Structure formats: C-alpha cells, structure tokens
Amino acid sequence: MNYDKPVVSGFPSAMSETRSNWWEQPNRVLLINLREGDEPKVDARELARFVLDFGATAFCINGGGIVAFYQTRIPGQRISNGLGARDLLAEVIPVAHENGLRVLARIDPSCAPRQLAADHPEWFARDRSGGLCEVSGHYVTCPNAGYYHERMVEVVREILMRYGADGIWNNQGKFAAWDTAACYCDTCERSFRAESGHAIPPAENWQDPLWRQYNEWRYLCIAAWVRRMNEAVHAVKRDGIFIAAVQLMESLETIRPGGWDIDYWLSDQDVPTFECQRRNTAPWWPGIQAKYLATLAPDKPRWMTVSYFYPWWRLYAAPEAENRPWIAQQFANGVNSWLHINGGYADLFDRRGLAPMREVFQRLKRWEPYFAGARSEAQVALVFSRHTQDNYGGDEPHARYLDFIRGWYCALQEAHIPFDVLSDKLLASERFARYRAVIVSNLACVSDETAASLEQYVAQGGGLVASFEAGWCNVDGVTRDGPAFARLFGGVYGARRDNLKSSYAKIERRDDPVLAGIGDTDLLPNDGALREFRPESGRHVPLTLIPPVIAHSGATISIPELSAIGATTDVPVAVRGEFGRGRVVYFANQMEALFYHYGFGDLGRVLANAVRYVRGGVAEVEIDAPDFLDVTLMGQDRRRLVHLVNLPVDKPLSTGWRHPGRNLVEVRGIEVRLRPRVGERVREVRLATTEQVLTHTLNDGWIAVTVPRLADHEIVIFEFE
C-alpha cells in the first residue's frame, strides 16, 4: 500500500526563500495538544491567527501514534473518533505555511489499541507475569520492539511525505510509560541477556550491580530508538527535525525508569529539547535545565516547553506570576520557549492565562536581537552527574545527591553569582578550562579520567569546591578504597559520622574568607552526616564539628536546661587550601543539602564565599538586589547582557507540595555593576523593556548603573565600541 503519496504540496515561494535550517533561528513555539473530539472546533485559519498573535514562529499539533489526527493509511493505527471525514493535517499545514509558520507533528509511541495486540503481540510491554499493561483502554508498547522501531517509522514517513510537516515532536517515548512497571517482554529479555548474560532483575535493588547495569541498559535502549527515529526523519525530509521529550532531575519517577538521558541523544537531536511542565518542584527548574542545555549543546539551538497548565489539572492555568519567570529563565539562558496548551478547544477551560502569556511571547519576539547568538559568560560551573544520581543516590536520589545540587543552585542564585551547569560525562579539559571555579559538590561517581582532568585544571590555576563523599565511587557506583580527589584536598580520610541532628559547626577563624559577612556568632547549624578528614599541614580549617546536643541517643532535640555544649572536636567541617596554582575548598559535611533543606542563610553565604575564594580575583558582575532575583550574564558581539529575573515570593509552608508562585514583588533601585574587559569602552547602557538609556558611571574599574524598576524580566544591555 502506498503511504507516501503527497496530500499537500511543498512550501510556497515565500517560504522557500528562508534558510533551510529554520530551526537554527530564534523560535517561539506553541504546542497545541488536542483531545479526541476537539477536531470539529479546529479552523485552520483561526489557528494560524491564534499562533501569530503570540508572535510565535511555529506550532506543534497532534499527528499520530496512540491515535491519528489525520486520514492514515497505515493498518492498525486508529483514526480519532472526532475526525470524521476531515483530514486535519491536510487542512492545517498548508495554511500555516502560507502564513510563514512551521508545523511539527506530535507523535506518541507509548501505547496502541488493544486490537493490535492480536496481530502483533511481540510489540507490547509485559509485566513480570507476562501480562499486557493496560492504560485508558490501550496496551503499553515496548521501546525495544517493532511498534517503536518499525510502526513509528511508518507513521513518521507518512506524516512527513504526505503532509509536509516540518518535523516530529515525540511524547512519552520511554519504558514504563504512564506509570506502569518495567518491561519483561521476550524482546527485552533477549536483549538484556545478550548484553549482560543475565535475565532482567526481578525487582529494583540499587545495591545490586546487575540492577545498576540494567538501569544503564534502559538509557542506551531509548538512545538507540532516538537514533532510529532521527535517521528516519532525515531520510525522508532533509530539513525536517526530530525532537524527543526528556527532563532533568525533577520528575525522577518518570526519567529514570523511562530511560531518559539527553546526553546520549545529543548527536541525534537537531534541537536538544527539555520538557519543563511539572510544578511540584523548585521555581528555578527551568533555569537549571536551560543552563544544562546551553553547555551540553553550545553550538545547537535549544528549546524547552513550559506548560500553560498544571499537569494534573490540564485545563487549569498556572498562575501568571509563576509562568512569567518560568519562561524568563529559559530566555535568559539562551533557550527558545514552547508554550504547551492542552484542551484549549474544551467547552470548560481556564482562559485567564492566555492574554499574559501572549504578552510574554510578543516580548520575546521584540527581544529577539538580544537572544540570537548570545552565549553565557559565567565564570563558575556547577557539575551535574546522572551517574551519581542513580548509582550513588540509589533509592534515595534526592537526599543523597539531588538536594546537594539544589542547595548549590539556591546559594549561587541568591548570591547573584552567574553560573553554568555541566554534565559530568562531558568534563573534558576544554569544557571547563574557561571557568575560574568548578563546583563538583557531592560528585560521588567519577571516572579516573575526569578526576585527573580536574586535578590538572586546579594545578594550572582553577578553583574547585567539593563536599562529603565526592569521588568515593567509580561511574558504575563501585566504592573506591579512597576518594579520587584525595590529592587535591591534601589529607587523610577517616570514618563516616551519621545522625548528626542538633550538631553545630564551630567557627575557628572568624577572619577566614569562607566566613566573610557571617557576623557575631560562634557557631552554625549542622545535621546529617560527615566524612572525617585530617588535613595535611598548610591547609586552613575555618569550621569544626560540635557533636549533637540532644536529650538521649534516640532524641532529636535537647532539654533547654541541659542544652549546653559539652564538648567540641577538631574534626573539620570545612577545609580550604591551595593545589598547584589553584585553590580548593572541601566541605566534609552535607553543607549544600542542609542549606536546601533548612534554608539557613548563613549556610548559603558560606557556600557562596567558598566559590568566591576559589574563583579568586574580582567578579564579572555584581548586583545589589534582594536574594529572590535571578541573574545571568550573556554576551554578543560588542554587547553584554545582564538578565534580571524576578522569582515569585510566597509563604513558606510545609505541606509536601510546593505552593505555586503567586506574588511578583516589584523591585526598585537595583544596582548593577559590570567589569569591562581589557580594551573595552562602553558606548551606552540601556534597558530592553523600554530602550531607555541609563546614566552610567565608571568607578574603580566598574561600569555602574541603577535599574529603576523590575517587574518580572529585564535585560540591562551594555553596548561597547
């Protein structure tokens, strides 16, 4: 049967004059997610006008997979019940192209009609007992089997060749789709046995090396499918693109069992893209994902979704005060935004967010000159390690690792220190040589090669900050005899101390640079665990451990009358010193995780001070503003851009659910100081929002301006001659 006969022609002449690699330009995309039954309400010209009103350049609309929103000729691909005799893609795509818009078709390979299992039982996932996995009247499919690798290739070919879509967006291409269990189908069992010599483990056990091997195998399997689909798209359409949904850190219950690791997909993604939809997480999740993308693929365009809604309530709009900075963080870190609207054609829908989001997207269009080609000029890098998340974090990835990264993000953001986020898989010398300071945090899982590169980096003048059990495992999670960074920190490691609730860190050297600005206190709070460490001579120990002050061995609090500190120790909590021409700081405790968990400002100050110490010299930019402002520093030719993003401020409540950001507090009189490079002469400084030229002063090597007010997002533009 001929699936490939075109239904629509190619681009009109106005489109053919544009660059072939359209996705390399700045883009703003709407993801229009239809539900079955929405089709009668879709008018192609009204849809194009809706997208254009946002200042968008492209949109994504449902294609095929679970259900086809077009007249498919592929046997077994179910056509949407609401489509009738219409062919939605044949109507929508030509009109979009006439209006200069690009169109991506959304596919979802995660499940298929139950009837298809009779003809192709080998295509479907199986639970441990061999049963099919049912979701919403469909069966979950297997990422290693023919539905993914053969049927979805047919679907993509049909959409691209018959309808002229500009690319494919994949949703839910993963193991354990829709919160189902691991797949034990014959295809997976054969594949894993060929890889490992063993059957798939019957249950999750992070202490078992076989489980960790199986976990890595899942990532590699999904990467192989992404490669297959990318090749299929480009074989059909030279300037088509394939984008696969993925996330970082948050939504770990989806990422890890699903086998999502964008690092493994990099060569097979024209536009590396993150989803950023879950909202029960930190308000700076878009920021950390955008920073990660920027260093992972600095020479590629980068996209990220932001949901109009809350995923559990898809028809209910997220608050404007939260979505504004959610999008701003993406733009400020060099990432194009997608606005995901689900159920917009529903009879019952929350329309309150449409106007403000339209305003934000129109602003992004106006600010396009400040986006194109802009690159981060941060001199500090924070390392993220998926191997540590999995192979060290195990069944407690948040407490054992991710909270460390979150703590560092908070500390740097609140101190207004611009920084990048690096993947531990890409820590070659050329990746971090441009930074004055690298933070590895509790990077437990590290290769010998990476450890050696970091050691060389510090010896040649770089700065390094690490904590707790950094370097204690190889990338597979096997414990070493001693940490890989032992030479860097110069000392002897001892036992691990746990259960340090109600302990303290005693200030030993009040004038130490790590304690700058702490003020009139003799101690800081401590908790969790600590690695005993005896530094060699020449190292400085600004903080030492005061053991827990509690009522008895099982208590978590002391009796007021008996809360005096009975003893101190010489066990270091923090150690600093030099290695070669560089500087190092080692926190023997879980300093950054404690800061994230408790929010004590002193702990964040100590972390920021450690970065300033190892970085040395002067900062590239300084901001006098409240700690809820986020700052990035970007550069273009003869132009430097300081992005100010106002994060929402709300009541701190302990409910087990992060309350949405509801209050953007306008900030006035923000002092911004930028240090020009040698030979640079400033021509003018202005604001992107109003193009107002600001009065600037030159003082002690700084260019200083005052930003009169900040609502949600502003760019301070420094133009140089």
Q: Is the pLDDT of residue 16 over 60?
A: no
Least confident of 18-27, 156-165, 385-394: 18-27
Per-residue pLDDT of 203-220, as tens digits, reads 999 999 999 999 999 999
657 occurs within a structural domain: yes
Rounded CA gap, 441 and 591, in Å? 9
If you search the block for the tokens 């939260």, which residue do you land on? 322
Q: What is the CATH number of the domain that holds 485?
A: 3.40.50.880
Q: Are 529 and 550 found together in one domain?
A: yes
DSSP-derived secondary structure for 354-372: HHHHHHHHHHHHHTGGGTT
Using CA atoms of 318, 324, 328, 331 in order, give the dihedral in degrees to the nearest 10. Answer: 70
Rounded CA gap, 527 and 596, in Å? 12
Q: Are 628 and 611 found together in one domain?
A: no
Q: Are 560 and 678 found together in one domain?
A: no
Q: Tell me how many degrees the CA angle 498-502-503 measures, rounded to the nearest 5.
A: 65
Nearest to 20 by CA among 296, 331, 270, 366: 270
pLDDT band at 5 (very low <50, low <70, confident <90, very high): very low
The pair of structure tokens assigned to 482 is: 């001693």
167 occurs within a structural domain: no
Q: Are 570 and 501 found together in one domain?
A: yes
Cβ-in-10-Å burial (0-12, 13-18, 19+) of 97 comes to: buried
Residue, of 534 and 245, whose pLDDT is higher = 534
If you search the block for the tokens 């087990």, which residue do you land on? 656
Reported as type and span, the H/E element at residue 572 is strand 572-579
Cβ within 8 Å of residue 569, ≥6 positions away: 544, 545, 546, 547
Nearest to 470 by CA among 390, 404, 525, 408: 404
Quick one: how far is CA 23 from the chain centroid? 21
Rounded CA gap, 623 and 633, in Å? 11
Contact criterion met (CB below 8 Å) for 310 and 279: yes
1 occurs within a structural domain: no
Rounded CA gap, 289 and 285, in Å? 6
The pair of structure tokens assigned to 677 is: 């490079």
Q: Is the pLDDT of residue 705 over 60?
A: yes
Q: Is the pLDDT of residue 12 over 60?
A: no
Q: Mean pLDDT throughout 399-421? A: 98
Number of domains observed in the structure of the chain = 2
Rounded CA gap, 158 and 604, in Å? 54
Q: What are phi and psi of 54, to 5 degrees?
A: -80, -5
The pair of structure tokens assigned to 538 is: 């020449």
6 occurs within a structural domain: no
DSSP three-state, residue 682: strand
For the beta sheet containing 503-507, the strands, ordered from the edge strand earlier in sequence to the opposite edge, are 420-423, 380-384, 437-441, 463-467, 582-587, 572-579, 540-546, 503-507, 523-526
Cβ-in-10-Å burial (0-12, 13-18, 19+) of 276 comes to: buried
Q: Is the pLDDT of residue 194 over 90?
A: yes
Q: Are 507 and 600 found together in one domain?
A: yes
Angstrom distances, CA of residue 287 to CA of 375, 406, 645: 15, 11, 10
Contact criterion met (CB below 8 Å) for 93 and 163: yes
Q: What is the pLDDT of residue 4?
A: 45
For the chain, the residue count is 721
**HSE on the CB side for 168, CA within 13 Å?**
33
The pair of structure tokens assigned to 466 is: 């690490």
Per-residue pLDDT of 632-685, as tens digits, reads 999 999 999 999 999 998 887 888 787 888 899 999 999 999 999 998 999 999
Least confident of 3-12, 581-590, 675-684: 3-12
Per-residue pLDDT of 472-485, as tens digits, reads 999 999 999 999 99
Contact criterion met (CB below 8 Å) for 574 and 585: yes
If you search the block for the tokens 């930074």, which residue do you land on? 435
Q: Considering 569, 586, 615, which residue would you say is the last residue of a domain?
A: 615
Angstrom distances, CA of residue 278 to CA of 251, 313, 338, 421, 721: 7, 11, 14, 20, 44
505 occurs within a structural domain: yes
Q: Are 553 and 676 found together in one domain?
A: no
**HSE on the CB side for 677, CA within 13 Å?**
11
If you search the block for the tokens 């659910």, which residue do you land on? 657
pLDDT band at 15 (very low <50, low <70, confident <90, very high): very low
Q: Are 466 and 600 found together in one domain?
A: yes
Nearest to 588 by CA among 661, 659, 528: 528
Q: Are 522 and 668 found together in one domain?
A: no
Burial state string for 138-170 with b = 16 or more CB within 10 A and e = fewer than 16: bbbbbbbbbbbbebbbbbbbbbbbbbbbbbbbb
Per-residue pLDDT of 230-280, as tens digits, reads 999 999 999 999 999 899 998 899 999 999 999 999 999 999 999 998 777
pLDDT band at 6 (very low <50, low <70, confident <90, very high): low
Q: What are phi and psi of 516, to 5 degrees?
A: -55, 130
Angstrom distances, CA of residue 524 to CA of 40, 362, 496, 540, 604: 64, 47, 20, 18, 11
Q: Are 672 and 610 found together in one domain?
A: no
pLDDT band at 334 (very low <50, low <70, confident <90, very high): very high
Report the 10 Å Cβ neighbour count for 590. 27
Q: Considering 590, 615, 640, which residue would you say is the last residue of a domain?
A: 615
Angstrom distances, CA of residue 35 to CA of 69, 92, 172, 345, 346: 10, 16, 16, 9, 9
If you search the block for the tokens 């006008």, which residue do you land on? 49
Residue, of 83 and 2, whose pLDDT is higher = 83
Q: Are 658 and 608 found together in one domain?
A: no
Nearest to 586 by CA among 573, 601, 569, 600: 573
43 occurs within a structural domain: no
172 occurs within a structural domain: no
If you search the block for the tokens 């054969």, which residue do you land on? 190
pLDDT, averaged across the chain:
94
Partners of 303 in the β-ladder = 273, 336
124 occurs within a structural domain: no
What is the domain range of residue 630? 621-720
Q: Is the pLDDT of residue 7 over 70?
A: no
Q: Residue 101 carries which side chain, given as an amino acid letter? A: L
Q: What is the pLDDT of residue 464?
A: 98
DSSP three-state, residue 507: strand
Q: Are 437 and 569 found together in one domain?
A: yes
Cβ-in-10-Å burial (0-12, 13-18, 19+) of 311 comes to: middle
**HSE on the CB side for 412, CA within 13 Å?**
29
Per-residue pLDDT of 441-488, as tens digits, reads 999 999 999 999 999 999 999 999 999 999 999 999 999 999 999 999
Contact criterion met (CB below 8 Å) for 383 and 485: no
Per-residue pLDDT of 545-573, as tens digits, reads 999 988 776 666 778 887 888 899 999 99
The H-assigned helical ranges of 39-82 are 44-53
Q: Is the pLDDT of residue 17 over 60?
A: no
pLDDT band at 20 (very low <50, low <70, confident <90, very high): low
Q: Are 597 and 709 found together in one domain?
A: no
Q: Considering 615, 645, 670, which residue would you say is the last residue of a domain?
A: 615
Q: Residue 680 carries which side chain, given as an amino acid letter? A: E
High-pLDDT (> 70) share of the chain, %: 97
Q: What is the CATH number of the domain that holds 684?
A: 2.60.40.1180
